[in-house]
Amino acid sequence: MPGNTFGSLFRVTTFGESHGPALGCILDGCPPNIPLEPNDIQQELDRRKPGQSAIVTQRKEKDAVQILSGVFEGKTTGSPITLLIPNEDQKPKDYDHLEHAFRPSHADYTWQVKYGRRDHRGGGRASARETAARVAAGAIAKKLLSSQNIHIQAFVSQVGHLSLTQAYHQLDLSSTESNEVRCPDPILAAQMIDLIKTVRKEGDTVGGIVAAVIKGCPPGLGEPVFDKLHADLGKAMLSINAAKGFEYGSGFEGVAMRGSQHNDRFLPGNLPIQTQTNHDGGIQGGISNGMDIYFRVAFKPVATLLRPQESVDAQGNRVIVPGKGRHDPCVVPRAVPIVEAMAALVLADHWLRLRTLG
Amino acid sequence: MPGNTFGSLFRVTTFGESHGPALGCILDGCPPNIPLEPNDIQQELDRRKPGQSAIVTQRKEKDAVQILSGVFEGKTTGSPITLLIPNEDQKPKDYDHLEHAFRPSHADYTWQVKYGRRDHRGGGRASARETAARVAAGAIAKKLLSSQNIHIQAFVSQVGHLSLTQAYHQLDLSSTESNEVRCPDPILAAQMIDLIKTVRKEGDTVGGIVAAVIKGCPPGLGEPVFDKLHADLGKAMLSINAAKGFEYGSGFEGVAMRGSQHNDRFLPGNLPIQTQTNHDGGIQGGISNGMDIYFRVAFKPVATLLRPQESVDAQGNRVIVPGKGRHDPCVVPRAVPIVEAMAALVLADHWLRLRTLG
Amino acid sequence: MPGNTFGSLFRVTTFGESHGPALGCILDGCPPNIPLEPNDIQQELDRRKPGQSAIVTQRKEKDAVQILSGVFEGKTTGSPITLLIPNEDQKPKDYDHLEHAFRPSHADYTWQVKYGRRDHRGGGRASARETAARVAAGAIAKKLLSSQNIHIQAFVSQVGHLSLTQAYHQLDLSSTESNEVRCPDPILAAQMIDLIKTVRKEGDTVGGIVAAVIKGCPPGLGEPVFDKLHADLGKAMLSINAAKGFEYGSGFEGVAMRGSQHNDRFLPGNLPIQTQTNHDGGIQGGISNGMDIYFRVAFKPVATLLRPQESVDAQGNRVIVPGKGRHDPCVVPRAVPIVEAMAALVLADHWLRLRTLG
Amino acid sequence: MPGNTFGSLFRVTTFGESHGPALGCILDGCPPNIPLEPNDIQQELDRRKPGQSAIVTQRKEKDAVQILSGVFEGKTTGSPITLLIPNEDQKPKDYDHLEHAFRPSHADYTWQVKYGRRDHRGGGRASARETAARVAAGAIAKKLLSSQNIHIQAFVSQVGHLSLTQAYHQLDLSSTESNEVRCPDPILAAQMIDLIKTVRKEGDTVGGIVAAVIKGCPPGLGEPVFDKLHADLGKAMLSINAAKGFEYGSGFEGVAMRGSQHNDRFLPGNLPIQTQTNHDGGIQGGISNGMDIYFRVAFKPVATLLRPQESVDAQGNRVIVPGKGRHDPCVVPRAVPIVEAMAALVLADHWLRLRTLG
């Protein structure tokens, strides 16, 4: 079973390679009669697109989206929505040196083994450029969710060793987009930007963490027993290029707590029921409980370096991968809209799944 | 779309409630002609079953498995394999006090909201007892994988604040099963057991971490772009009761590294290609690369306490949930075979998916 | 992808072999709070069970169903419903002669080639006994549908060359169950019964046709473009053992008509809109239009004969398959509840799918 | 679950409306390293395209296909293959008169009820123009199958009352494409063409039957119990616009036979095993047995007429649908490549499914 489709009822299939003519997606299962303009999608793509600031890759792509189907007179019809994003700044020649070399910690070797060949130009389909299609589909999911007053906000919480110390509710998340690194603490943001610039000057890269908060999610989303809401969120996040870990609510830190500390006490009083604390991260037994959902995603340092690296070719011979190619010194600023998009796809899918209960 | 099925080609659907007549599963897609005896399954169930030691729940269940279909003259036939595990030590009356109360940080409230009613006896289908069916199915996946020399070993790496400091290859994993807590470091294991006993005496519970290593996995398992091997492993692990986080390879710690440190250099020389380090955790671009796969799963402290807790009923009125019921003071010792089972289901599924490439 | 599961949102997976310990199914996706007693299922199984009359197989099976999960205090819970039907009258020794012979026009040869081995006892999983599990699941679908005033009625319209000449609305379908052959025309029914008895005396078998009418189906069921309602009905019917053809509405006869005759004119007047004729069989563009849905299913003569037949073994050597074994001389009387069950599963699935549109 | 996807392992999702900017599909799951040129697809599209002869619709569409992804240096890569077919001869204004009228026996009314609105221009997504995307995807399936020496040939066997009387093996199928109606009997073909021209002159339409033969299919394709090969073929065919019935092998005529006549005797001798007759149509127990597979598909007369027709609007008021619009007077000549494409998609899917058995 091929792996280019995500979701069960709100279902996106992405296609396209980094240096092919275009990439895009089909979104099937979107309910009819949702207002949708190209700009709803474009503004999310603009948050992800390359070249948007000094700390991201300088590949020039407008990432201008076209709607090919499924929208009629400004509204969705219930038919598959096809989104097309032509590639413009392809420089496939830039990748000739990679035809016979496997970049370290990239997908070059594994794709070669799996498929017997690969499109070596910029990673082909394994390129993070594929996530543009996810952001485009996620923009439609966001439209659906915002009509239900469900809102998702992601932000950078760590770059290298520089980490937010505040809990998310102590931060002004509305300021996230006011700096290039998308960290809601402006002082830490400035330090993060400096770190990324320093790392890039060294021809190196650095990892980071993206956190996300979902507000307004009603109770009931998530399916026992395998399709728990956090399990689907986890899969969604881990499917993003360079992701290495996922935790929600108290996460890995929660393991050192006692149950008597960790349990979230239900508060007597008005319905809907609230909890005093929220270590469960808004999800109990895999189903949303109406509190804020929050989670964190770890991203490794980007594998492409501006330094020569030792490697091998398909025969196991030693080769040098030269330090060139356009890439991000740190993935997390551009990962913010991707994390939001994937979260939106998960929630839209589970929102439709809940509907089947009547 | 219902959420009781896991896997695409090697596909298990579980059923049953904690205090119903039985639980079990159908495993569909298992290739024919694999030798399979009930004891292959029983020995895995015995590792998970309640009452096996002093530090786990004292519910008495033999968890004796019956094979109802799909096996003929000691071998699989290619037809659905049905496994049945009758419940024996049901004490539904023990749960009458929960008919109108929501236990804190349990699934009681969310199931009630989602379905309009619930089987309140011991958590019904939300009970971790459901994982017996997963372990049973996973035992068959293990048979398939071991015929391919793929082996999975999980172990407890942390209980509360007590954590292994060694890397997995510095440990003698074969000693994991020699102590009740399933930690391969015998000194730390003794401390963990003491901690669990202390916590239980206090009527409290504690969290922990299960780590796992997969050896012998050939390169090529995992599907771009959404069904990356680690994304499916992550979903599998996060779907286990009480799981709060998942990381593989360098995980959350890797974010503070530089790319030049983190990248795993391919070693020139004999095929199959090896890497010098393994921060990628045996998975590159979502596809196994032939190195060891390793990951860690965080489990929160068990929500059931031997203390009275304040809570509410469906109308929001204050109630007291009394401190009774049989439960584990710490989930991780019994989670070890569950983590292995879910990992086996993921790998068996991707092994079949790889086969479709010819 | 294994083929033992039917449906997308209302999804049944069947298991079990003709001469194994039991057969049954898991039904996942059934909405909660539907009243369900074992007898709701048993009465449908009794319509299908062997030994019920002089013109069907004399295998003795009570087909007594057990509900193992998913029902609590007389109502569905939204969790998987597991139904178990123990086999009682197994006579596996009766099939020893088939271990090395392929019965003509049975599944013996194809299963042997596909799986490298087979459970030869009575056809194993290829036996029509598997349809008991479908009838059991279909009984639950019928409960769901009847709560929406959707009703399905199947009947025998042809046995051998003996065929109903009336349209379904000229018949009193309520009399279908009043005779052993389940044909609503009592005079033709008597002829059909005579024919089946004659054929059996000759050690032979005969084919037939089952027709079905669905009343009360609201407009809107069916999904463009591949999952058209009649396409899913067709697949459901063709998946029944011995089925050879499916047609709905005007069917094969409609091809000789002109469009001006065939088109169903919409009648002005009160909503919901009605059509003057119903050549479309209640389905337009793959979606129900609120008119009666009707279709017909062709069944070949049963392949098991009470006569010796020439055949071969796996090496291609000539063998004689002796004329023994319990079987039906004509499959259609017992196919009536199976056709209804499969139609109910299709409609329940599409009814849930329609719900996702809100 | 949306219905625009077909297949499980070899999986196509189509998109696009009759008068939108384009239609096309994503084919996911195609194995890597299959040679593929645009012309492989174009030649099949040319067989289906409008305006190709005097007896089909005069809409002018080049149906020129573009490959947007999944092919690199003339071979498939294993990544999703995206095919785009721009619409050129859109005349949406021609359909203004249909904005408030439901054409009889079209999908207008049912889509309006289901989705609350519809793209009324030429049927929007319900238009048979959607099948261009199926033919394009099917061309790739044919490439895969022909590399395995599996070949599919469809032909027109009936138009109106004019029907072939020969069995398929008595015909020279290689002459099918030598006449406009695609009937392999040239004398009958001439009569069919005359009939279609006459019917068109009368402003009317007529139905027909397409038959198909699959040669070279190895034994083993098809999955018990629901995904029988003929059940999936049946669904595939019934999902084509205007299809009303499906039968394989002896089909509806077989019901009047005795088992002793109908059973296909296995012939002693060389392997692979052959049968003397082939009433089973190459499929036993839902699995191919190595003999020719053959089946027939009934198509109703096209609903669009060149005559005014009475109908209603959404409020139930009487309206007149004028007799205009470009359409086919008989669908079967252009259905021939569509039937082949859908059959190819089914076989390619089951061929991959068989591979998972090893």
Mean pLDDT of D133-147: 98
Query: Which residue in C357, C32, C34 sits closest to C219, CA to CA?
Result: C357
- What type of residue is B189? A
Alpha carbon of C260: minimum distance to chain B alpha carbons (Å): 42
pLDDT bin (cut points 50, 70, 90) of residue A255 is very high
Mean pLDDT of B171-180: 96
pLDDT bin (cut points 50, 70, 90) of residue C327 is confident
Cβ distance C225 to D4 less than 8 Å, yes or no, reads yes
Q: Provide the mean pLDDT of chain A.
A: 94
pTM beyond 0.95, yes or no: yes
Mean pLDDT of A68-89: 95
For the record, the structure tokens of B39 come out as: 């004891």
The angle that helices B38-48 and B131-146 make with each other, rounded to 10 degrees, is 130
Q: Could you check whether the bond before residue B272 is cis, i.e. omega within 30 degrees of 0?
A: yes
Residues C91-146 have pLDDT tens digits of 666 677 777 899 999 999 999 999 998 888 878 999 999 999 999 999 999 999 99
Q: What is the DSSP string of A243-276?
A: EEEEEETTGGGGGGSBHHHHS-PEEPSSSSPEES
Cβ distance B26 to C17 less than 8 Å, yes or no, reads no
Which residue of C lies nearest to D310 if distances are taken between CA atoms?
C265
Which residue of D lies nearest to C224 if distances are taken between CA atoms?
D3
Flag whether pLDDT at C2 surpasses 90.
no
Please give the interface size between C and D, counted as residue pairs whose CB atoms are below 8 Å apart. Answer: 366
Cβ distance C78 to B21 less than 8 Å, yes or no, reads no
Cβ distance C31 to A356 less than 8 Å, yes or no, reads yes
Query: Which residue in C225, C235, C220 sits closest to C351, CA to CA?
Result: C220
Residues in D lying within 8 Å of B, measured between beta carbons: 1, 9, 29, 31-32, 78-79, 224, 352-353, 355-358
For the record, the structure tokens of C93 come out as: 């020794």
Asked if C325 contacts C237 with a C-beta cutoff of 8 angstroms, the reply is no
Cβ distance B79 to C21 less than 8 Å, yes or no, reads no
pLDDT bin (cut points 50, 70, 90) of residue B92 is low
Residues C209-226 have pLDDT tens digits of 999 999 999 999 999 999
Residues A121-136 have pLDDT tens digits of 878 999 999 999 999 9
Show which subunits contact A, needing at least 3 CB pairs below 8 angstroms.
Answer: B, C, D
Cα angle: A338, vertex B221, D9; to 5 degrees? 80
Residue C85 has what DSSP assignment? E
- For residue D353, how many other CB atoms are within 10 A of its CB? 26
pLDDT bin (cut points 50, 70, 90) of residue D271 is confident
φ, ψ of residue B266 in degrees (nearest 5) = -70, 135
pLDDT of residue D92: 63
Mean pLDDT of D103-118: 93
Mean pLDDT of B82-110: 85
Residues C10-30 have pLDDT tens digits of 999 999 999 899 999 999 999
Show which subunits contact D, needing at least 3 CB pairs below 8 angstroms.
Answer: A, B, C
Q: Give the span between the Cα atoms of D350 and C111, in whole angstroms.
A: 15
Q: Provide the mean pLDDT of chain C.
A: 94
Q: Give the span between the Cα atoms of A39 and A36, in whole angstroms.
A: 8
Mean pLDDT of B37-44: 97
Flag whether pLDDT at D270 surpasses 90.
no
Residues whose CB falls within 8 Å of the CB of residue A73, separated by 6 or more in sequence, listed in order? none
Cβ distance C160 to D254 less than 8 Å, yes or no, reads no
Residues in B lying within 8 Å of C, measured between beta carbons: 1-2, 4-5, 8-9, 11, 13-17, 20-24, 26, 28-29, 32-33, 66, 68-70, 72, 75, 77-82, 84, 114-119, 124-125
The dihedral over CA atoms of B308, B310, B313, B316, expressed in degrees to the nearest 10, equals 170
Q: Give the span between the Cα atoms of A313 and A319, in whole angstroms.
A: 7
The dihedral over CA atoms of D32, D33, D38, D42, expressed in degrees to the nearest 10, equals -80
Q: Which of A110, A271, A293, A297 should we substitute to test contact with B (largest number of B Cβ atoms within 10 Å)?
A: A110
Alpha carbon of A127: minimum distance to chain D alpha carbons (Å): 13
CB nearest to C5's CB, from B9, B20, B28: B28
Alpha carbon of C304: minimum distance to chain B alpha carbons (Å): 23
pLDDT of residue D345: 98
Residues C250-293 have pLDDT tens digits of 999 999 999 999 999 999 987 889 999 999 999 999 999 999 99
If phi > 0 it is left, if psi is from -120 to 50 it is alpha, else beta; for residue C198 that is: alpha
Query: Which residue in B329, B351, D304, D49 sits closest to A258, CA to CA?
Result: B329
Flag whether pLDDT at D41 surpasses 70.
yes
pLDDT bin (cut points 50, 70, 90) of residue B59 is confident
Alpha carbon of A272: minimum distance to chain B alpha carbons (Å): 8
As a whole number of Å, the end-to-end CA separation of chain D is 31
Q: Which of B157, B238, B302 should we substitute to test contact with A (largest number of A Cβ atoms within 10 Å)?
A: B238
pLDDT of residue C92: 63
Cβ distance D115 to C357 less than 8 Å, yes or no, reads yes
Share of chain A above pLDDT 90, in %: 85
Give the C-alpha distances (Å, rounded to integers) separating B348 from A192, B30, B137.
42, 9, 11
The interface pTM score, or ipTM, of the predicted complex is: 0.97
Flag whether pLDDT at A313 surpasses 70.
yes
CA B72 to chain centre: 29
pLDDT bin (cut points 50, 70, 90) of residue D2 is confident
Alpha carbon of C217: minimum distance to chain B alpha carbons (Å): 22
Q: Domains of chain D: which residue ranges?
A: 5-357
Share of chain B above pLDDT 90, in %: 85
pLDDT of residue D200: 95
Burial class for B256, CB neighbours closer than 10 Å (0-12, 13-18, 19+): buried
Mean pLDDT of A239-243: 98
Flag whether pLDDT at D250 surpasses 90.
yes
Residues A6-59 have pLDDT tens digits of 999 999 999 999 989 999 999 999 999 999 999 999 999 999 998 888 888 888
Residues C42-100 have pLDDT tens digits of 999 999 998 888 888 888 889 999 999 999 999 999 999 999 999 987 666 667 777 78
Alpha carbon of B21: minimum distance to chain A alpha carbons (Å): 19
- What type of residue is C280? D
Q: Give the span between the Cα atoms of D12 and B20, in whole angstroms.
A: 42
Residues B120-130 have pLDDT tens digits of 887 899 999 99
Mean pLDDT of C145-151: 97
pLDDT of residue D76: 97
CATH number assigned to the domain covering A5-357: 3.60.150.10
φ, ψ of residue B265 in degrees (nearest 5) = -70, 130
Gyration radius from chain D CA atoms: 21
Q: Give the span between the Cα atoms of B190 and B205, in whole angstroms.
A: 17
Cβ distance D245 to C244 less than 8 Å, yes or no, reads no
Which residue of C lies nearest to B31 if distances are taken between CA atoms?
C115
Q: Give the span between the Cα atoms of D251 and D246, in whole angstroms.
A: 8
Alpha carbon of C354: minimum distance to chain A alpha carbons (Å): 8
Residues whose CB falls within 8 Å of the CB of residue B198, separated by 6 or more in sequence, listed in order? none
Residues A184-201 have pLDDT tens digits of 999 999 999 999 999 999
Number of helical H runs and strand E runs in chain B: 7, 18
Cβ distance B298 to A114 less than 8 Å, yes or no, reads no
Flag whether pLDDT at C346 surpasses 90.
yes
Which residue of C lies nearest to A79 if distances are taken between CA atoms?
C224
Cβ distance D228 to C316 less than 8 Å, yes or no, reads no
Share of chain D above pLDDT 70, in %: 98
Mean pLDDT of D105-134: 92
Show which subunits contact C, needing at least 3 CB pairs below 8 angstroms.
Answer: A, B, D
CB nearest to C15's CB, from B33, B70, B125: B70
Cβ distance C80 to B14 less than 8 Å, yes or no, reads yes
Mean pLDDT of D22-51: 96
pLDDT bin (cut points 50, 70, 90) of residue C300 is very high
Which residue of B lies nearest to D31 if distances are taken between CA atoms?
B357
Flag whether pLDDT at A227 surpasses 80.
yes
Residues A172-186 have pLDDT tens digits of 999 999 999 999 999
pLDDT of residue C61: 85
Query: Which residue in D69, C6, A122 sits closest to B5, CA to CA?
Result: C6
pLDDT of residue A92: 63
Which residue of C lies nearest to D123 if distances are taken between CA atoms?
C285
Asked if A153 contacts A173 with a C-beta cutoff of 8 angstroms, the reply is yes
Q: Give the span between the Cα atoms of C124 and C130, in whole angstroms.
A: 9
- Chain B residues close to C23, C-beta within 8 Å: 69
Flag whether pLDDT at B212 surpasses 90.
yes
Alpha carbon of C33: minimum distance to chain D alpha carbons (Å): 23
Flag whether pLDDT at A234 surpasses 80.
yes
If phi > 0 it is left, if psi is from -120 to 50 it is alpha, else beta; for residue C175 that is: alpha
Q: Which of C119, C206, C230, C246 should we substitute to test contact with D (largest number of D Cβ atoms within 10 Å)?
A: C246
Flag whether pLDDT at B193 surpasses 90.
yes
- Chain A residues close to B108, C-beta within 8 Å: 285
Segment of A95-104, B325-334, D110-119, D199-208 carrying the highest mean pLDDT: D199-208
- For residue C138, how many other CB atoms are within 10 A of its CB? 31
- Chain A residues close to D124, C-beta within 8 Å: 72, 77, 79
Which residue of D lies nearest to A21 if distances are taken between CA atoms?
D68
pLDDT of residue C44: 97
Cβ distance B358 to D357 less than 8 Å, yes or no, reads no
